[in-house]
A and B are shown apart, each in its own frame.
Chain A
C-alpha cells in the first residue's frame, strides 16, 4: 500500500562520480545513469552492494547530464553537445549526433518513444527522430542573454503523459508551454524569483528553473528551482516550487521551503493527482512530498546526497535517486 507518509530511505550505493540523470528499465530496478566521468552506467538498485557497470564505446567527451530510454535503447545528452545512442543489453555505444552548440541540459522522449526533445544552453529546443537521430524541428523561444547581458541557460523540458504538451524553462524563470504535435507555443509563464541577480555585492547570478512536471491530467504544471539567495556564493536559498494552472495562467502554489535549501532538480506527480515528489539539494540533499491540492508538505527527508534526478517505479513503491557520488533508494510502502 503506497503512502507518502511512509517515505523512508532503504539503501544507498556509493559512487565515485556524480550522477546527473537517470532512467529506469520499465518494471525493474535497473537504472541507467549519466555521469560526471563522461560515461553512462547501469546499476541494479535492488541488489545490495551492486556495482555500477560502465557502458563501452566512443560515447561522450564531457559530463553526461541527461539520459532517457526508448525501448531497450538509451539516449544520452551531454555538455559536449552530442546526443548518443546506447544498446542497453550489450551496454555498448551505438552512435551519436552533434545536436547543440552548447551544454545539453535535458532530454525527454515522447510516450510513444518516437521523438526526442533536447534543450541546451544554445537556448534552442530541438526535436529528433528517436530511432534515426534525424532532426525534426528546432524551436526558438528562450533569450540567449539574461537581462544583465550574460549568457542564459536552458535547463528544463517536460512532456505531458498523453504526449500532447511540452514545457520548457530557462535560467531567468521564463516558461513556455507548447503544443507538441504542432510545435507551437500555446502559453507563457514567468517565475522570476527562481533567478537571483546580485547587482551590488557579487555582481553575477545564480538559480534558474531546473525542473518541470505536468500533472497526469496535464492541468497543472510545476516548476522547480531555488528562491532568492542572499549570498550567491552558495546555494543558500529555499528550495522552491511554483505550481501553475497553466491554462488560466495562474499560479496556484508557491512553495518556498526553508527547511531544505537548494535546487529542486526533479518533480514527479502521482497518477492520482493528489501529491507530487520533488528532490534536489545544496551541499546535502532532500526529498519532499507535497500535497498537490494545498501545496503543503506531506513528508520530507534529508537525502544522503544532493539529488540530481530520480525515477519512480510503476507501482510507486520505490523511488530511485541519483546524485553526488551516490544512488539512494526510498520506499513509499512498508519495507
Chain B
C-alpha cells in the first residue's frame, strides 16, 4: 500500500434527483477541504460512461488510491463503481459510497438540511475509506442441482425450464399432487382456454421428466448453506401407499367406508379417506389420509378399532365390520352388552351433541352375524410350542384367541363346569344371555382353542411337565370382600358373587320380602335387579357416596330404578341386626362427602350420631371382590395388596414362562381391561417362545387425533337403544334389545371419523397391486442444490369473517374458487351451474374486492379478481343463461387482451353496478325478493341505494399469503413485505431474486398475479438459476468475519448468535496448556457482523467493517474528532 492516502470524491447530481435538493457545488467544495482528499468533483450522472471515465482517469493521473462516490443507494450502483475502480487498477474494496439521494434528497424538501446531511455523509465516507483495506473476492463452485418448492404453475414452469437444460431439479410439493390452484380452475382469462388443457401437459411432463425428481406429499424441513451450495432436508410424508406399484386404478377408494369433504372441491363434494385429489393427478397414485388414532380407540384398554367397524356399519358392510373387530378381539356380543365403554366417554361427537352408541353398534354386528352365516376356518398350527391358559374368563380367552391366531396350539384349563368365568357366573342372564356367550366361546374353539372344563390346576410345574412351554394365568378375583361389621356371618347375609353364581347356575335361591344390597358397583346393581327378579318385594341399594360417584354403568342404575329398586345413598351399614340367628335389619350411619380421595371421587365422611335402622330380611354384600391368595400360593408371589405380582410391562410372574393378567393382577376391574391384559400377555408369550426381548418397544402409545373439525356438522341425537318393557322383564329375558339394520346405519353415520382413515383395511384386500403399506412412516431425504426457487403460492381469503356477506350462513353464497370447481366438468356438479336445491340460477351477483382493497382485511388489490369475475360472468351466461350483476369498485383490466375481454363481456350483456356491497341478506321486503338473496349496495353512478334480488352470489375473494408464510420465510431466510408476501430484492429491477442470494421467489408467493405473469416470473427465475449453473461458480463478498487470534480467548459468545452457523469453537494445546479460540468458515460467513457486536475482546471482526472504520464514520457524523 502507498504511504500517502489520496482520495477522490465524486458528487453525483442524478439529474435533478439529488441536485434539485442538495447543493452539489457546496458539497463538492466542502469535500475538497477534507483531509487526504486529492480531488472532488460533481457530475450530472456519475454512473454514465463519461462519469465513470472521469473516475478512472483521476485514479491513473492523480494517483488516487481511494475513491468515494456520493450518489444513490449502493444497491443500485456499488457494483458499477467498483468495476470502474477495478478497471483503473484500484482494488474495488478501496471504494466507498455515500447515499445522498435516498438518505438526503428524497427524504426532505429542506435544501439546507439535505445539503448539510450530504456533507456529513461524504465526510463519513472519506474518513472511513481512508481506513479501508484491499480485499479479494472469493469464488466457490456452484452445485448445478436446483430445488423448486411448490408444484403450481409457477413451480412447474421453473422446474421444466431448468430440467430442459439437462440439469437436475428437485420439485417438492406438499399436496399429494402437483398442479396447484390452476388445476382447480375451469377456463382461463382472457382466452377462455381450459385450464386443464394447458396445465395437464405440463404436469405430466414434470411427472415423467428424466431430470425432475418429483417429491410430492413432501415438505422442506431444513435449509442450510448458501448460494451455490445449499443442503436441504425434505420430509416425505407417509402416504401409506407405495408409489411404484400403485396404478391409480381406484379400487381402494371404492371400498373405503370413510367420506370427508374434498379439499380440492372446497367442500362441495366428498372424497374418501383413501384418495387422489383429482383424476389427472400427478403422480397418479392414491394417498391415505390419517389424522392420528381416533379417541375411541385410544380410550379402549384393548385398543379396539371402533372407528373402523362403525365406519363399515355406516356403509352397510356389517360382515366386514365384524371381521374388523375380530382383528382385535372375538367378543362383539359380550362386549356389545356388558362393556363399560370408555370409548363413548371420549367420543368427539359427545362434544357436539351425544357420543356414538359404540357399544350398541358392536352388539349389532354380533346380532347380525346369523344373517350372513358364520364361516370359521380353523387356524393352522404353525408353531410347535404348546401354551396353557388357566382360567376361561375374558382375560384367558382373549389371550388364547390371539395366540391361536399366531399358530400356537392353545389349551384352556377351567375349574368350573362351564367356561366363561365371571362372564358366565358373575353377570345375570338378562344382561348377557348364555347362548351369546356360548356362541362366542364356540367361535374361539372353532378356531382351534381347546377348552378343558372341570380341570382345576394345583401346581404350575405340573403344567410345564405336561409339555406346555408357556402359561397364562387369568383366574380372576372371585372372593367376596367382607365388611367387617358385627353380625356379618348371620343367616340371611349373602355375598353378591355367590348369590349371582347360584342364580346363574340355575340353583333356586330363596329371599325374604325385603332385601338390602350394599355397594355401588355393577355387581351391586346386578345383585339388586336379580334379587327383584328372584322374588324380593322391596330391594334397596345402600351406597356410601352419592349417585354421581357410583362406579356402576349409569344406564344400568337407571334401569334398576325403573324396575322399582330404591337407592339409599350417603349411608353405610355399621351393624347387622339379628334375631334368632336370622337377619332382621341393618343399622346404618349417614355420610357426607368430603375432599376427593385417590380415586378422584369425593370421600365419604360419617356424620356422627346419625345412625338409623332399616328392617330387612336379607342382606347382599357387594362391596368388592378380592383375589383368592391361596391359589398356587406355593409358587406365585403376591403383593401386599393381595394381588399377583407381575412385571408391569410384560406381565411375567416370578415364574419364568408364566404370565398373568386380568382381575388377579389388577384387582376387580372391567371385562375390557381383562381382555386388554390377555392380549398383552399374548404378545409376551409369543416373544418369549420366539426368544425375543419381552419389553422392547412396549408399552406402545397411540397418538390421538387432534382438532377434529365439527363446523358445519348438523346436530343429530343418538339413536336410542330399545328396551324391554319393565313388566316383561324376568331372570333370563334380555332387557336391552339391539339395533335393527336401519338404526345401526343411522347411528354409525353420525361418526365424525376422527382419525380420517378408519384402519378398516378393506383397501388392503382390494388393492391387486399390493401397494398399500399401512406401516409406512415419514421419510427424510437430504439433497444438495446450488439454488432454490420458492413457488409456494397463495391461500384464498376466508369470507366468513365478513358476517354481512352471509358466507357460511346463507345457501348459494359461494367463493370464486368454489365457482371454478362448479364450472369445471370434473367438479362436483359436472360443470353445471347449480343452486343448492339442484336448480339453475336465473340471476347471479358477483361481488368484487371481497377482502381486497379493504383496510379491514387486505389493503392491496388482488390483481386477478376483476378478470376472473368477468370470466365467471361469461361462464354463467354460457352455461345457465342467467342475468349477471357485477358489483365493482373499479374494473381493472390491465394486460394483453384484457380490455378487449371486458368489452366482449359488456357486449354479452352483463350488468355493471359501481358500488361495494354493504350486505347480502335473505330478509325480503317485497314479493320480488322472496326466497332470493338480496344484494344491497349503492349504485354510486346513479346515487341510489339498490337491492338486487338474485339466486346466487359469488364472492371474488382476495388472494392472501399462505398461512404458514412466516415459517416458510424463516426456513429459507427470506423476508416478507408488509402485506405478508415474500419480498423481492428490487420491485422493478430484480423482481424474482430475494435478499438471500441463490434463493428466488416466483408466482403468487411474491404477490397476487395471474397465470401469464407467474409463468414469466418462473422462466425468469429459471434463467437466473441456469446462469449460475452455466457460470459454474459464484463470487462471494470478501467482507466477512476474521478471527484475531491474539485477542480471541475462546469465550465462544459469538458461536450461538451466528445465524449462518459459520463459527466453531476449537481447542488446541499450546505450551502444555489447553487454548481455546474460534474459527470462522469463510464459505458460510455472510459478513452480517453479529459476531463482532457480540465479542467483548475484539477477537473477531468483519473485514472493512472493523470497529475503527465504523467509529470513524460515527465520529464524522457526530462531528467528533
Real complex partners, A and B?
no
